[in-house]
Amino acid sequence: MSLDFDVFVVDPKPIPSAVPGFEDEVGQATWPPSTSTLISDDGGGALLVDCLITAPESRNLAAWVKALGREPGYVYITHPHADHFLGLPEILAAFPAARPVALAESIPAMEEQISPGFMQVWNGFFPGQLTARPVAPAPLAGTTIPVGGSVATVTPVGTTDTGHSSVVHVPGLRLVVSGDVVYNRTHMWLQGSTPDSRASWMRALDAVAVLDARTIIAGHRNPVTADDDARRQIGECRRYIADFEDALDRSSAPAELIDRMTETYPDLANPYTLWVAAYDLLGTGS
């Protein structure tokens, strides 16, 4: 059996800005560009990794999978962030036999993401665009997922931009589908981060490096990125976290941190992510 993969890409989406001055200085606030990855074997088996957030984009994703002639047996969700799994009902409507799964330890946080309080927050970002009946995946037994006659392996990596993160590894393709563990030329989500969580994220990047993939499909990928080269992305993410740590140490107000990081990273996708982190970590709350 030979395996292959395809990537579905969603551009940044407009959202209301919650940080002062962003729209004046930068422009429309946006949700980061996102991906969903389909791994398939030539016998017709397929695994979909992550499935986006809005109902329309998830319906488009399902139509894209159908157009490729694939019928996913499983949908794996890499980590408990709603923007990677609120689209699940649309996928399951199109593929009723597909089994949605995630790391068992990540499921309580996924259930929290779809609780009424959180759904109110998510609906504030995407009014009228989200499912009214969100669902959480079921626990994955073990660490392998069948893809037709082959398997993909799940590697838990702990806390990155949220707890209980994981990546999907397909050794035969030298492929890692990284969820939020590796970002591709896109500002990394460091809102709510601490020295400990950033150190944990660095260790997670080490754990991905050990897999020795050639290709990493990041959950958030710049639409104009040059490639999906694994070594480049891991190196850039390590450097981003280290630079952020250093800039945070030397800054006492959000604007200082934003200026330092923007000077070093003028071209990354979704600067709004950086602003949110800066106001969260250095804002006065006023």
| Shortest Cβ 32–Zn ion spacing (Å) | 7
Binding mask 89-118 for Zn ion (x = CB under 5 A): ------------------------------
| Shortest Cβ 166–Zn ion spacing (Å) | 13
- The window from 99-107, 114-122, 137-145, 176-184 that contacts Zn ion (CB under 5 A) reads 176-184
The residue (of 41 and 161) whose beta carbon lies closer to Zn ion is: 161
User: Per residue, what are the HEC states of the chain?
Assistant: CCEEEEEEEECCEECCCCCCCHHHHCCCCEECCEEEEEEEECCCCEEEECCCCCHHHHHHHHHHHHHCCCCCCEEECCCCCHHHCCCHHHHHHHCCCCEEEECHHHHHHHHHHCCHHHHHHHHHHCCCCCCCCCCCCEECCCCEEEECCEEEEEEEEECCCCCCEEEEEEHHHCEEECCCCCCECECCCCCCCCHHHHHHHHHHHHHHHHCCCCEEECCCECCCCCCCEHHHHHHHHHHHHHHHHHHHHCCCCHHHHHHHHHHHCCCCECHHHHHHHHHHHHCCCC
Note whether 81 binds Zn ion by CB under 5 A: yes
The conformational region for residue 66 under phi > 0 = left, psi -120 to 50 = alpha, else beta, is alpha
Closest by alpha carbon to 188, among 85, 270, 74? 270
Note whether 236 binds Zn ion by CB under 5 A: no
**Alpha-carbon distance values, 164 to 80, 121, 231 (Å):** 7, 21, 23
Let me know: does 50 contact 35? Beta carbons within 8 Å: yes
The residue (of 41 and 180) whose beta carbon lies closer to Zn ion is: 180
The residue (of 81 and 198) whose beta carbon lies closer to Zn ion is: 81
The residue (of 81 and 185) whose beta carbon lies closer to Zn ion is: 81
Residue recorded with tokens 């040059």: 226
Binding mask 115-154 for Zn ion (x = CB under 5 A): ----------------------------------------
- The window from 152-160, 179-187, 257-265, 277-285 that contacts Zn ion (CB under 5 A) reads 179-187
| Shortest Cβ 286–Zn ion spacing (Å) | 29
| Shortest Cβ 180–Zn ion spacing (Å) | 4
The residue (of 52 and 145) whose beta carbon lies closer to Zn ion is: 52
Name residues contacting Zn ion, limited to 211-230 (CB under 5 A).
Answer: 219
The residue (of 34 and 40) whose beta carbon lies closer to Zn ion is: 34
| Shortest Cβ 122–Zn ion spacing (Å) | 13
**Site size toward Zn ion, by CB under 5 A:** 3
* Dist CA 129 CA 147 (whole Å): 31
| Shortest Cβ 179–Zn ion spacing (Å) | 7
The residue (of 148 and 219) whose beta carbon lies closer to Zn ion is: 219
| Shortest Cβ 165–Zn ion spacing (Å) | 10
The residue (of 90 and 161) whose beta carbon lies closer to Zn ion is: 161
Note whether 180 binds Zn ion by CB under 5 A: yes
Residue ranges binding Zn ion (CB under 5 A): 81, 180, 219
